[in-house]
Copies of this chain bind each other. A is one copy, B any other.
């Protein structure tokens, strides 16, 4: 079971678990970001999400409190040759310095604690996206979104099935990725 990565992510080094294309695709599609968008991301991890978003958005600022991960992400940004992605070696829980943001993405053990900060950093049509492996995180995250003043949340999971296509027929691959994370999108 190989996971496909688009070209921009292929040569990169991996530390902590990285977001894979199916979930990245959902974040783009459900946030509606484009080339004029300003994005804030935390935590950087290996920098894959920041880089994938940087390929699309005007600018991406990614917060990472761990020095080793921040360094790894920084190196990956250089490898991907993106000038519009900035890694900040800070905890997002200490505050989001950016304002008028179009998208905040959170993939942290305690993502729900940054929901209020994200709300304030976002502009009036801004979207918050949470990447949450467990159902309990989803419950806490959605509760915080409601408290923070977001008007709507969408919680979903994205399952991709790969197919074998041969002359003799067509069928899904036998083994596959059943789960990575639930995604919550919060809209002002």
A135 touches B175 (CB 8 A): no
Question: Which bracket fits the contact residues of A?
Answer: 35 or more
Give residues 4-44 of A contacting B (CB, 8 Å): 4, 6-9, 21-22, 24-35
User: Considering only CB atoms, which chain B residue lies closest to A137 in the complex?
Assistant: B169
B170 touches A161 (CB 8 A): no
Q: A132 → chain B, closest Cβ, in Å?
A: 9
Choose, from A89-97, A113-121, A177-185, the stretch at the interface. A177-185
A162 contacts chain B at the CB level, 8 A cutoff: yes
Interface of chain A: mostly helix, strand, loop or mixed: mixed
B134 touches A171 (CB 8 A): yes
Q: A95 → chain B, closest Cβ, in Å?
A: 27
CA distance A71 to B121 in the complex (A): 39
Knowing A135-B169, A171-B135, A171-B179, the reply to whether A30 touches B4 (Cβ < 8 A) is yes
User: Considering only CB atoms, which chain B residue lies closest to A184 in the complex?
Assistant: B165
CA distance A142 to B34 in the complex (A): 30
Q: Write the A39-79 contact mask toward B (1 if CB under 8 angstroms, else 0).
A: 00000000000001001111000000000000000000000
CA distance A155 to B48 in the complex (A): 23
Contacts of A55 in B (CB 8 A): 32-35
CA distance A143 to B169 in the complex (A): 12
Partner of A174, one of B21, B164, B168, B178: B178
Q: A180 → chain B, closest Cβ, in Å?
A: 7
Contacts of A178 in B (CB 8 A): 161-162, 172-176, 178
User: Considering only CB atoms, which chain B residue lies closest to A54 in the complex?
Assistant: B34
Q: A49 → chain B, closest Cβ, in Å?
A: 11
Q: Write the A107-138 contact mask toward B (1 if CB under 8 angstroms, else 0).
A: 00000000000000000010000000111111
CA distance A107 to B127 in the complex (A): 29
